[in-house]
Chains A and B, each alone.
Chain A
């Protein structure tokens, strides 16, 4: 089975021309629900027919991410006229197994007023079906007595936050109830995503996708076993650290309810995000000041993450390379300054001297820090020169 998540042009040729725009929208606008994954279209590879006639795929399976798993819905168009509205099937699922007569007319207006010329028709129908599916899962939670406690919790959660959009509920065959909750924090101030270099492989620029943080809580109604984990999108994982390093508290069913747990996790994440954005902003300021002050001396600097600057400084006709590295714990941690000689070698490598005692305080502004560092360098570089000459002499 070929699953197609990227729209290449030759893939669309599998489908009848009249449907191509609608199907293209599935890729263009494919984000549905909370998950950062988008919908995929599964197409069985077609066999070549004997008379080489063109056989189009008018039945395909949509893979839709929901509550951490995938739903497989089949979409069928009629080959008599591709302008006719499609039909749907939900294999292995009791969703809409016994639909009411007004299911389509009342709950799926895009299907009742199907217009093939509107390229958003198919995607609107899918979204309406998703709404119905969510309602179906929640009604399962409501009608079955053993989930009554969970249902009341869910109701409480919804009433407090008014946020039914960001929660997906799924009850699997084993009776476990999965809550999939989207944590709504602004991640815009975080440093950008840097793709790790894969040595030996071609450098495809990968798309880290949108930033999402989702919390998954799986509960079994009778047992007290609860599984909870936090899933972060790649950029967040790179920047904040994976869920395990964050030390998220586990959900204890007896002590706290879902709402408290979610707010706990949210505050934790928010603090971390604020810390990192602050750090990033300060690093940015620090480097910018260095550039503005010693613009002519700069050899190179890190312009994405602002973690490193290399300067060529001259005092009394003696040139030395100054390497400033800023760590993650800035401003608490002092940036590491190393002086590197361009004339002298030690063990076949340029002579390096760490500058540990330059004036620094985390309470200063970056401007202040830079100014003090530069004045200190003016004194330290002649000292370094002396050290280098001593080394050369010995």
Chain B
């Protein structure tokens, strides 16, 4: 009786996760959504023994990043469950893990630090009802000197009997050769609905039906893409506003006390230095994005150059330092709901499912 646990993630879900990581200027943490699939295989050996192999697969469908560090935990590592509930709302039941993206760490040596271990334990305890194999994905990304090669490193760890063990990861590749019997996984509701609408037209020829399925699915995808593009734009706008409000708060805080402490204000402004990902990063990211967000690029670039200018002359908007203020919460709620809608629409239908159906 063997039991194995592994993680599988589709290409597009993984791409979404990496995109979110790169887009953020700093370290990031967040939650992984998906479900657990358990497969049991009964084998009968030559000596008439029954061998049961259970395979648990954590299938990751999407990722929800948290807006900032220390969002749902405090400095002693205590996790605020209510905040997580409010942030994830309906998607809380789909959580199967969390991720940590660490920049500036060499990919071979990422591991959980003291506070992160404490957080992991608490999250695993809380979510153990829905997923007994709660795991943490550690990610890091590195780019070469001339920015020609980007390497991404990821490991999944699980806390089991006072040790942190690694889980094997499988990224679903459409051209993976499959030598065993293929077991299908249950399809999502949206997919089933689309298929139902095709079946009702009553064609019997195999290849025509498949073609119809493909066309319907593609049209559905296009509709979703347009909708989520709109939501993405709103999301970006809100994020910019949040950043602007934060900068204003910082300036108010510093220049409000300018008369009392000139030197502190000067040191704060020069504090974080210029952002490390240079300007062309943002344009690269938006190119990899499926939707054409060209209208957003100048806005983002403008935001970045404003930051860089301010480091040189201390008069204008100063670069980043996040601070919690009460009136930001409403903005954050709006942006989080938009994020959820986007992930839902993107992740429920994926090209891999279409291709699987095609093969079958």
Contact call B162/A98, Cβ cutoff below 8 A: yes
Asked if A16 and B271 sit within 8 Å, CB to CB, the answer is: yes
Which residues of chain A are within 8 angstroms of B117 by Cβ–Cβ distance? 98-99
Please tell me which one of the listed residues A51, A81, A104 contacts residue B322 in the complex, with CB atoms under 8 A apart.
Answer: A81
Asked if A89 contacts B113 (CB within 8 A), the reply is yes
Judge whether A88 and B276 touch: CB under 8 Å: no
Given contacts A53-B274, A55-B276, A78-B27, contact A84 B114 (CB under 8 A): no
B323 / chain A contacts, CB cutoff of 8 Å: 81
Given A79-B26, A79-B272, are A87 and B113 neighbors across the interface (CB < 8 Å)? yes
CA separation between A90 and B112, bound complex, in Å? 11
**B163-219: which residues lie under 8 A (CB-CB) from chain A?**
163
Return the CB mask of A42-53 against B: 1 if under 8 Å, else 0.
Answer: 000000011101
Alpha-carbon distance between A98 and B117 when the two chains are bound, in angstroms: 7
Interface residues as binary, A70-108 with B (CB distance below 8 Å gives 1, 0 otherwise): 000000101111111101111000001011110111001
Q: How far is the CA of A108 from the CA of B116 in the complex (A)?
A: 15
Q: Which residues of A contact B115 (CB under 8 A)?
A: 85, 87-88, 104
Given contacts A84-B69, A111-B76, 4 further A-B contacts (CB under 8 A): A17-B268, A53-B276, A55-B276, A104-B118
Q: Which of B78, B116, B278 is within 8 Å of A87, CB to CB?
A: B116
A156 at the interface (CB under 8 A from B): no
Q: Please state if A101 and B118 are interface contacts (CB–CB under 8 Å).
A: yes
Main secondary structure of the interface of A (DSSP, over half): loop
Q: How far is the CB of B292 from chain A (nearest CB, A)?
A: 28
Chain B nearest Cβ from A191, distance in angstroms: 46
How close is A86's CB to chain B, nearest CB, in angstroms? 9
Q: Given known contacts A53-B273, A103-B118, is B111 in contact with A114 (CB within 8 Å)? A: no
Once the chains bind, are A82 and B271 in contact (CB under 8 Å)? yes
Given contacts A17-B270, A56-B273, contact A81 B321 (CB under 8 A): yes
7 CB < 8 A contacts A-B = A17-B270, A51-B278, A80-B26, A81-B322, A84-B69, A104-B77, A114-B75
A54 at the interface (CB under 8 A from B): yes
List 4 tightest A-B contacts by C-beta distance, closest first.
A112-B76, A80-B26, A105-B76, A85-B75
Known: A88-B113, A103-B114, A114-B75. A78 touches B69 (CB 8 A): yes
Q: Report the bound CA distance from A203 to B265 in whole Å.
A: 42
Bound Cα distance A99, B121 (Å) = 9
Residue of A nearest to B146 (CB): A50
Residue of A nearest to B266 (CB): A17
Pair A80/B27 contact, Cβ less than 8 Å: yes
Asked if B93 CB lies within 8 Å of chain A CBs, one says no
A90 to B104, CA, bound (A): 18
- Tell me the bound Cα distance from A65 to B68 in angstroms: 36
A169 CB to closest chain B CB (Å) equals: 22
| Shortest beta-carbon distance from B43 to chain A in Å | 36
Flag whether B145 is at the interface (Cβ < 8 A). yes
With a CB–CB cut-off of 8 A, which chain A residues contact B118? 99-101, 103-104
> Could you tell me the distance in whole angstroms from the C-beta of A84 to the nearest C-beta in chain B?
6
B122 at the interface (CB under 8 A from A): yes
**Residues in B neighbouring A104, C-beta threshold 8 A:** 75-77, 114-115, 118
A113 within 8 A of B: yes
Q: Is the CB of A54 within 8 A of B75?
A: no
Q: How many residues from A make CB contacts under 8 Å with B?
A: 37
> Is there an interface contact between A82 and B272, defined as CB atoms closer than 8 Å?
yes
A114 CA to B74 CA in the complex, in Å?
Answer: 10
Which listed residue (B74, B77, B104, B278) contacts A101, Cβ 8 A? Answer: B77
Q: Does A59 contact B (CB under 8 A)?
A: yes
**Interface: B220 (CB within 8 A):** no
User: Which of A49, A89, A105 lies in contact with B78, CB distance below 8 A?
Assistant: A105
B19 at interface, CB cutoff 8 A: no
Known: A80-B69, A81-B322, A87-B113. A101 touches B122 (CB 8 A): yes
Cβ of B74: which chain A residues have Cβ within 8 Å of it? Answer: 112
- Give A285 to B99 CA distance when docked, in angstroms: 75
A253 in the interface (beta carbon within 8 A): no
Are A78 and B271 in contact, with the CB atoms below 8 A?
no
- In the assembled complex, B148 has its CB within 8 A of some CB on chain A: no
Bound state CA distance, A235 and B26, in angstroms?
Answer: 50
> When each residue 14-58 of chain B gets 1 if its CB lies under 8 Å from chain A and 0 otherwise, what string results?
000000000001110000000000000000000000000000000
In the complex, which residues of chain A have a beta carbon less than 8 angstroms from the beta carbon of B163?
98
CB of B325 within 8 Å of the partner chain: no
CA gap between A49 and B145 in the complex, in Å: 9
CB of A105 to closest CB in B, whole Å: 4
Closest residue of A by beta carbon distance from B78:
A105
Note all chain A residues with C-beta closer than 8 A to B77.
101, 103-105
In the complex, the chain B residue whose C-beta lies closest to that of A74 is B113
B157 to chain A, nearest CB (A): 13
B320 to nearest A CB, angstroms? 8
For A20, give the chain B residue with the smallest CB separation: B267
| Contact digits for B265-288, partner A, Cβ 8 Å, 1 yes 0 no | 001101111101010000000000
Cα distance, A309 to B45, chains bound together (Å)? 102
Complex contacts, A50 vs chain B, CB 8 Å:
145
Closest-CB distance, B71 to chain A (whole angstroms): 11
Chain B contacts with A in 60-90, Cβ cutoff 8 A: 68-70, 74-78
In the complex, A238→B163 CA distance in Å?
51
User: In the complex, what residues of A have CB within 8 A of residue B271's CB?
Assistant: 16-18, 82
C-alpha spacing A113/B278, complex, angstroms:
35
Chain B, residue nearest A110 (CB): B75
CA distance A100 to B122 in the complex (A): 10
* A80 x B322 contact (CB < 8 A): yes
Question: Are A81 and B116 in contact (CB-based, < 8 A)?
Answer: no
Residues of A within 8 A of B278 (CB): 51
In the assembled complex, which residues on chain B have CB atoms less than 8 Å from the CB atom of A101?
77, 118, 121-122
A111 to B75, CA, bound (A): 7
- How far, in angstroms, from A50 to B122 measured CA to CA in the complex? 42
